[in-house]
């Protein structure tokens, strides 16, 4: 690995709760001060602070980085917030690593915070603009669509059994029963409970997904000389990796997270890991949904494609299995305050590799583990590989970190009636988004009842949604072409809730549709004129256009796609 060696020497976290009484600053302080205490240092020993927190809109504080800086111990120090969406919690320790490895600092405090409970009526509202404002948002999307569409594609690609996938939620919620910070530990939960839970956006059910939460986590990272002075049990950062797939999410391979593989290979190369299945002893992949843990395990090259679900159901990934996965309880069990949940995984590796995880401790003497997170528009992979490198053998600590984690849970009633609380009914902001050249032309063509694409002759791709440049070849696209208004269903969901979780009856059927004559992936629309039960992946569909006089040059000029009846235009 290039640069100086870097170790993790302390970790701390709050309890994860549904609604915290503490402000985000206070949560950050509770985690950061525990991490310093665990490292046996004070804030005066810290040279720089790295912070992460997901969108400002969750806490409802613009420039959340400097808002949180005092609770993160950044007063008067070099400080910066990094942010790659859900991937942030594992990215910011990478930032901490390069801050120390480069020689800029000897000791770095890394803090991750999220307070999602402030956002009303539902934090999903903050996510609506991650959909393309021109060609996706008019469809009334719900963030769950992306996950449901990906999960369905994953299940179809490998013929997976949903029972096997549900076993991940069961494992993680059971593991979390031993975690003092956990919001969702349930020692007795069964696969039947998961399969019987409310369907949100088929195949995603309530217990397949981790809920919004409040919390913070922190670690201390140090250079080799400082680490060896402060502890005889440093946990070394052996490799780091991060990678981003295309931002056209409907064009991605939804069945396999190539970006996770790319990030993992970068980290494995740095760590000298050549046989990850033998050399990784404990894994904390990102698990906001049960299928994501499996998807990620395959991208991390720890299982062959499509085989992780069956292995999980067989107990291979249990705490006492061949490869313990999410012994912490993960996001599904401990909770999902987004950025904090990722850093919680790095903290768990620290405790596991030091033999300090108490009731959560995996058997044997794990020498190397990895943590991974996922985010941005669901296409960033961030990976950290950590290990003990045969240093002094871990001595089990009497206490089970995190020691006495704090954060005060507010019940819904107390939250609604809290004295001194301030309510802002709606963010008083309005935007006007320009379609730009490519999407402007695409929308004009829709008004005429035509679907147009751009062509890149260098890579030979025909692109929908069209763009004026090819993001792979990084050159202008060469020409426009009309493509048929018919294609195939790449994946679909049956969605029973709106973005704010208000029930939808009847449900709607979002789908990724690959048009005939286009190169890969497809674009987002809805299916109609068909019973949900009759929809299948691979089904041939065609556009149903609004009457000519009613078209406005909008994605809604296509009313929906229906099972194909005639010849495409």
Partner 1 sequence: MSRTVTGGIPIGFRYTPGVGNGAFLDALRDRGVLLGSRCEACGVTYLPARIFCERCLAELTPGVECGPEGELVSWTVGHVDLDERPLPSPEALGLVRPDRSDTVLMHHLLGDGPWTIGQRVEVVLADERRGSILDIEGFRPA
Please spell the DSSP secondary structure of 18-45, one letter per residue: SSBSS-HHHHHHHHHHHHHHHHT--GGG
Using the contact rule CB under 8 A, the part of the chain among 113-121, 159-167, 308-316, 460-468 near partner 1 is 113-121
- Antiparallel, parallel or unpaired: β 494-497 and 79-82: unpaired
Cβ atoms < 10 Å from Cβ of 323 = 20
Query: 418: number of CA atoms within 13 Å, CB side?
Result: 16
Query: Considering beta carbons, is residue 26 or 490 the nearer one to partner 1?
Result: 26
Q: Is 502 in the site for partner 1 (CB under 8 A)?
A: no
Quick one: 197 or 554, whose CB is closer to partner 1?
A: 554
> Which residue from 22, 136, 178, 261 is in contact with partner 1, where contact means CB under 8 A?
22
Based on the shown chain and the rule CB under 8 A, indicate whether residue 78 belongs to the binding site for partner 1.
no
Phi, psi of 127 (to 5 degrees): -90, -10
Please report how close the Cβ of residue 13 comes to partner 1 at its closest, in angstroms.
15
Instruction: Indicate which single residue of 47, 66, 98, 137 sits in contact with partner 1 (rule: CB under 8 A).
Output: 137
Of 5, 25, 64, 296, which lies in the binding site for partner 1, with binding defined by CB under 8 A? 25
Q: How far is the CB of 3 from partner 1 (least distance, A)?
A: 28
Question: Does 29 interact with partner 1 (rule: CB under 8 A)?
Answer: yes
Assigned token pair, 57: 């809109």
Q: Which stretch binds partner 1 (CB under 8 A): 81-89, 165-173, 201-209, 407-415?
A: 407-415
Residues of this chain, 38-67, that bind partner 1 according to CB under 8 A:
42-44, 57, 60
Measure the CA angle with vertex 40, ends 34 and 44; round to 5°.
Answer: 85
Which one of the spans 128-136, 167-175, 458-466, 509-517 is the region binding partner 1 (CB under 8 A)? 128-136
What's the gap between Cα 536 and its chain centre? Answer: 27
Q: Is 70 in the site for partner 1 (CB under 8 A)?
A: yes
Secondary structure element (H or E) that encloses residue 494, with its range:
strand 494-497
Dihedral sign of CA atoms 461, 463, 469, 472 in order? negative
The one segment of 116-124, 243-251, 274-282, 359-367 that binds partner 1 by CB under 8 A: 116-124
- Under the binding rule (CB under 8 A), the answer on residue 403 touching partner 1 is no
Three-point CA angle 476, 128, 137, nearest 5°: 60
Is 14 one of the binding residues for partner 1 (CB under 8 A)?
no
In the complex, what is the shortest distance from the CB of residue 142 to partner 1, in angstroms, rounded to a whole number? 13
- The distance of closest approach from Cβ of residue 457 to partner 1 in the complex, given in angstroms and rounded to an integer, is 25
Three-state DSSP at 486 gives strand
Q: Are 128 and 141 in contact (CB under 8 A)?
A: yes
Q: Which of 244, 435, 504, 559 touches partner 1 by CB under 8 A?
A: 435
Q: Is 33 in the site for partner 1 (CB under 8 A)?
A: yes
| CA atoms within 13 Å, Cβ hemisphere of 330 | 34
Question: Which lies closer to partner 1 via its Cβ, residue 21 or residue 481?
Answer: 21
Burial 482-520, CB ≥16 within 10 A → b, else e: ebebbbbbbbbbbbbbbbeeeeeeebbbbbbbbbebbeb
How far the first Cα of the chain sits from its last, in Å, is: 56
Binding footprint of partner 1 on the chain (CB under 8 A): 19, 21-23, 25-26, 29, 32-33, 36, 42-44, 57, 60, 70-71, 73, 75-76, 117-121, 123, 125-126, 128-129, 133-134, 137-138, 408, 410, 415-416, 418-427, 429-435, 439-441, 443-444, 500, 553
């Amino acid at each position: 690995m290039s640069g100086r060696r870097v170790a993790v020497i302390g970790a701390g976290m709050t309890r994860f709760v549904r609604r915290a009484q503490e402000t985000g600053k206070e949560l950050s302080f509770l985690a950061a001060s525990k991490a310093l205490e665990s490292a046996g240092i004070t804030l005066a020993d810290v040279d720089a602070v790295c912070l992460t927190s997901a969108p400002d809109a969750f806490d409802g504080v613009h420039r959340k980085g400097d808002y949180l800086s005092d609770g993160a111990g950044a007063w008067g120090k070099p400080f910066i917030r990094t942010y790659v969406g859900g991937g942030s919690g594992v990215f910011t320790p990478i930032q901490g690593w390069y801050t120390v490895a480069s020689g800029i600092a000897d000791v770095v405090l890394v803090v991750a915070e999220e307070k999602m409970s402030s956002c009303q009526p539902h934090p999903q509202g903050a996510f609506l603009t991650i959909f393309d404002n021109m060609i996706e948002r008019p469809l009334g999307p719900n963030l769950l669509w992306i996950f449901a569409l990906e999960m369905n594609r994953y299940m179809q690609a490998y013929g997976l059994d949903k029972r096997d996938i549900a076993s991940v939620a069961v494992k993680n919620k059971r593991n979390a029963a031993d975690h003092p910070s956990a919001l969702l530990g349930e020692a007795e939960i069964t696969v039947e409970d998961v399969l019987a839970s409310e369907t949100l956006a088929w195949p995603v059910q309530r217990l397949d997904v981790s809920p919004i939460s409040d919390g913070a986590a922190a670690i201390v990272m140090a250079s080799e000389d400082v680490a060896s002075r402060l502890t005889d049990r440093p946990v070394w950062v052996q490799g780091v990796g991060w990678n981003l797939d295309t931002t056209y999410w409907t064009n991605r391979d939804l069945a396999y997270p190539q970006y996770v593989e790319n990030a993992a290979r970068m980290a494995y190369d740095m760590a000298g890991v050549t046989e990850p299945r033998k050399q990784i002893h404990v894994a904390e992949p990102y698990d906001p949904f049960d299928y994501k843990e499996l998807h990620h395990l395959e991208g991390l090259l720890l299982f062959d494609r499509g085989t992780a679900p069956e292995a999980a159901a067989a107990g291979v990934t249990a705490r006492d299995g061949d490869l313990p996965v999410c012994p912490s309880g993960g996001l599904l069990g401990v909770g999902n305050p987004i950025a904090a949940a990722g850093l919680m995984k790095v903290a768990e590796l620290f405790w596991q590799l030091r033999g300090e995880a108490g009731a959560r401790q995996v058997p044997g003497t794990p020498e190397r583990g990895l943590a991974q997170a996922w985010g941005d528009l669901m296409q960033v992979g961030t990976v950290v590989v950590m290990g003990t490198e045969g240093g002094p053998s871990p001595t089990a600590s009497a206490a089970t970190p995190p020691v006495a984690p704090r954060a005060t849970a507010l019940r819904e009633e107390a939250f609604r009636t809290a004295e001194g609380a301030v309510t802002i009914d709606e963010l008083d902001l309005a935007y006007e988004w320009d379609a730009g050249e490519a999407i402007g032309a695409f929308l004009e063509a829709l008004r005429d009842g035509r679907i147009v694409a751009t062509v890149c002759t260098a890579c030979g791709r025909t692109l929908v949604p069209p763009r004026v440049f090819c993001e792979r070849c990084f050159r202008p696209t060469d020409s426009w072409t009309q493509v048929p208004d018919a294609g195939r269903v790449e994946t679909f969901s049956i969605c029973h809730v709106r973005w704010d979780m208000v029930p939808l009856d009847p449900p709607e059927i979002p789908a990724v549709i690959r048009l005939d004559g286009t190169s890969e992936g497809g674009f987002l629309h809805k299916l109609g004129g068909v019973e949900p039960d009759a929809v299948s992946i691979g089904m041939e569909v065609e556009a149903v256009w609004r009457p000519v006089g009613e078209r406005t040059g909008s994605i809604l000029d296509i009313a929906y796609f229906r099972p194909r009846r005639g010849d495409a235009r």
